[in-house]
Every structure is written in C-alpha cells, then in structure tokens.
C-alpha cells in the first residue's frame, strides 16, 4: 500500500484487484486522505481502502439479474456513499441542494460514474417483487430478534405455524407478490376459514392464529424492507369462541390410577421421571425436560429445581423461578439428579406420554392430557387456600398488580406444598 503527496495532500495509491475489474475500469486508484500529515494519512489509509472494497463488493452484488440482490446492493452502495437509497421519483423531488449533492458525489474523482453507483444514488433500481413465499424466507432474518435464546425445538415450534399460515394463503390465492395482494384475496382467505369453522373442522381461534401470523410476516417485511405498501389487513379476525382448556386430573385419579404400582412402568424412564416431577411442581413439560444437574438442587437445605433460560427461551419474564421438590416429584429427581438428556432437544415428549396414557386407559376423560397434571397441581393449591401471589410465583404467571417484595421464601412455599403433595 503506497502513500504519497499529491500537491499538499496525502493520497493512497493502490492497484485494483482482479476481482473488481468488471466494476472498476481503472487499473490503479488514487484515494485522497484529506490531510497533509503523514501520520494521520497512514492511520486513515486502511479504513479508506476498506470502504472502497466495500463499494466494489456492492457494485458486484448489483451486477446481477436477481432483482432483490440488485435492489439490496443499491441500498448498500448508497449508504457507503453517505446517502439513503430513495426511489427515483423521491430523488427527483428532493430540494435542489440535496439533489446536487448526489450528482456531485457521482462526479467526484472520476471521469464517469459506474452504472451501479448512478443507479444507487439516483434511485433507478426498481423495487423487487417479493412473493408470499419469498416474504416468509426474508422474515426469518428480519424477525430474528424474536428467536434469541430459543432452543432448536422452540425454534421449530415457532416457525411451523408461520410456515403453515403462508402455505394456507398460497393454496387459496397463489404465490402472489405481496404488493399485489388485494382486499378481495384476503376476504377469500377469510371465507375459506369461515367454511371450515361452520363445518366444525377448526375453531375461530385457529383461524385467527393464521391471520395473526400472516399479518406479522407481511408487516415485518413491508417495514424492514421499506416497501411502503398499504396492506389490506384490517378487520379479518373472527369472534373467538370459548377457549378449550384441558381439565385437571382429580387428586384421587392421580393417587389411585397414575401412581398405582406399575401403572407407569411401561413408559420410558425419563418420560416417567418428567411426569412424576410435574405432579407436585406443576412445571410445563418443556421446563422439566430442560432441567440439568446445575438446576436440580437436591443437596440444598430445601431440595428444589430452578427454571432458568439455560439453552432455551423462557415463556415469559415471570417463568424464571424456583420450585421446592416434595413427594413423588422429589423421588423422581433423586432418580434423575442430572435431568433428562433424552428430551432436552427432542420434541416428542408430550406425544409419547399422551400416547402411553391413552393406550393404558390412564386419562380421566378423553379431554385430559399430560398437561392436565399442571392444572391439577394448581387446583390442589387453590383448594388448600394458598395465596394467589404464591400460586402465580410457583407457576411462572404474571401478577395482575405490581410485585412488591421478594414474596414467600422457599421454605414457606415448601411447607405449603408438602401439605398437598402426592
């Protein structure tokens, strides 16, 4: 890298790498470092060269038939030159000094601007048409902050309903560019769901989830890609019917049927351990599966588990908590002090347990499921008169008022739960 004076200003002189010859006609470039101090010039040289490389890379990316890549490259090249990319109609409407600044930036230091730079600063690169399927592909990156901390299984469960929502809309209206989606298209989609609701195939809640996911995807892409579209998304949701909730197991059913000798012997040991751990803790199955030796604390004065964002994202800020271990749950964790590695990264825990319970006639009604143990534990706490604040802290639920103080101690909670433990 050569630095020398040209007049009273130091400039960087360097040969253009072969990679960029298609977008840079000069064999050698001179870059002004805007200083008469050699020390300062040398400190600025690497950054100036890096900026030029970045600009050439953007030109290369823009020299393509891929409309989206070309548009993205134009935005990046405009940024490198110190401008925001604007559509040509908006460039034409700029105040005269701002328009002149763009033109002068193109002319500065060269006989003729490259086509890519001219298109970037003057806004003549057409916006790409983003189809529904392409919008979903872009969404994964544009909405990546929503996935921070999620485990592989959580990420899968987060993605699947969004994939389904887009696929369902494509089945009805085709893989349209999102800018071409009309109000009639979305009303046709709504009618499709209405017919399924009337046929009893799905609930209004299921239909609304598809609409919510679609709205989120389209709004995110529209905003983050700065498309400026007016999306016809309003007033599409259905009035939600009564939410289906899983009924709790009765205490007698758990004691007499689920905890009967040999009742769970055919279930694989780790799934059985998670189930028994749930009886007197009420944790979510995924929370139990994620526990490790570090979060199972059997040697503490009060044996307990700690629900933490270790390798996964918690359901909410309130889900971080400690739960004392009592009864059959304490016995289960003594058998598995290191947790349940089989299910730490697998998604089939609930399916495995529910299939076993159904096959062995261990579901109190057809509406019951593995998750009913969580509801059963809360019902037992409620029947025992345990304070609402304590119940919410144990279950990881929000409190409908501000939380004051630290709440009940682990010892206090253990005493209350021991009285209702099975």
Q: What angle do CA 403, 404, 406 make, to 5 degrees?
A: 95
Q: How many residues does the chain have?
A: 422
Among 14, 10, 11, residue whose Cα is nearest residue 1: 14
CB-CB contact of 295 with 307 (8 Å): yes
Three-state secondary structure call for residue 15? strand
Give the integer Cα–Cα distance in Å for 368 and 194.
28
Give the integer Cα–Cα distance in Å for 114 and 121.
11
The band of 357, judged by pLDDT with boundaries at 50, 70 and 90, is: very high
Question: Pick the residue with more confidence: 392 or 403?
Answer: 392
Give the integer Cα–Cα distance in Å for 130 and 222.
10
CATH H superfamily, domain 251-418: Intergrase catalytic core (1.10.443.10)
Q: What is the mean pLDDT of residues 299-322?
A: 81
Tens-digit pLDDT profile for residues 93-121 = 899 888 888 888 887 655 566 777 788 88
Torsion 290-292-298-304 (CA) sign:
negative
Which two three-digit tokens encode residue 118?
A: 């001219």
Tens-digit pLDDT profile for residues 200-232 = 777 888 889 999 999 999 999 999 887 888 888
**Cross-strand bridge partners of residue 5:** 10
The band of 87, judged by pLDDT with boundaries at 50, 70 and 90, is: confident
Tens-digit pLDDT profile for residues 328-351 = 999 999 999 999 988 887 777 888
Residues 6+ apart with CB under 8 A from 312: 149, 150, 151, 153, 154, 286, 290
pLDDT for residue 238 = 86
CB-CB contact of 371 with 246 (8 Å): yes
Torsion 190-193-198-202 (CA) sign:
negative
Give the integer Cα–Cα distance in Å for 282 and 271.
15
Kindly report the pTM of this predicted structure: 0.55
**Cross-strand bridge partners of residue 31:** 12
The band of 147, judged by pLDDT with boundaries at 50, 70 and 90, is: confident
The torsion angle over the Cα atoms of residues 145, 151, 152 and 157, rounded to 10 degrees, is -70
Supply the DSSP symbol for 251: H
Residues 6+ apart with CB under 8 A from 318: 392, 396, 397, 398, 399
Give the integer Cα–Cα distance in Å for 36 and 389.
70
pLDDT for residue 167 = 92
């Amino acid at each position: 890298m050569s630095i020398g004076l040209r007049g009273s200003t130091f400039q960087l002189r360097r040969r253009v790498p072969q990679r960029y010859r298609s977008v840079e006609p000069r064999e050698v470039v001179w870059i002004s470092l805007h200083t008469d101090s050699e020390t300062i010039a040398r400190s600025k040289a690497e950054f100036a060269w890096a900026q030029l490389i970045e600009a050439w890379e953007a030109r290369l990316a823009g020299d393509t038939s891929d409309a989206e890549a070309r548009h993205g490259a134009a935005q990046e090249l405009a940024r490198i030159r110190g401008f925001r990319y604007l559509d040509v109609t908006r460039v034409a409407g700029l105040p005269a000094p701002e328009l002149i600044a763009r033109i002068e930036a193109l002319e500065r230091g060269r006989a003729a601007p490259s086509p890519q730079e001219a298109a970037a600063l003057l806004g003549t690169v057409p916006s790409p048409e983003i189809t529904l399927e392409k919008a979903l592909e872009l969404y994964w990156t544009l909405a990546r902050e929503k996935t921070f901390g999620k485990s592989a299984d959580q990420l899968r469960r987060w993605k699947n309903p969004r994939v389904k929502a887009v696929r369902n809309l494509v089945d009805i209206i085709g893989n349209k560019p999102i800018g071409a989606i009309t109000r009639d298209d979305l009303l046709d989609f709504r009618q499709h769901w209405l017919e399924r609701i009337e046929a009893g195939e799905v609930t209004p809640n299921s239909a609304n989830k598809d609409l919510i996911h679609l709205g989120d995807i389209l709004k995110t892409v529209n905003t983050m890609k700065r498309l400026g579209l007016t999306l016809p998304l309003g007033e599409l949701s259905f009035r939600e019917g009564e939410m289906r909730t899983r009924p709790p197991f009765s205490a007698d059913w758990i004691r007499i049927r689920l905890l009967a000798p040999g009742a769970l012997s055919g279930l694989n040991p780790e799934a059985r351990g998670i189930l028994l751990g749930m009886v007197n803790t009420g944790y979510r199955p995924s929370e139990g599966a994620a526990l490790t030796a570090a979060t199972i604390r059997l040697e503490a004065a009060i044996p307990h588990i700690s629900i933490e964002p270790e390798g996964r994202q918690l359901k909410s800020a309130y889900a971080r908590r400690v739960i004392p271990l009592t009864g059959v749950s304490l016995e289960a964790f003594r058998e598995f002090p290191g947790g349940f590695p089989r299910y730490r990264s697998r998604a089939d825990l609930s399916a495995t347990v529910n299939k076993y319970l159904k096959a062995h006639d261990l579901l109190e009604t057809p509406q019951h499921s593995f998750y009913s143990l969580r509801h059963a534990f809360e019902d037992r706490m409620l029947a025992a008169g345990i304070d609402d604040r304590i119940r919410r802290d144990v279950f990881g639920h929000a409190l409908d008022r501000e939380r004051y103080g630290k709440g009940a101690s682990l010892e206090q909670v253990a005493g209350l739960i021991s009285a209702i433990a099975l």
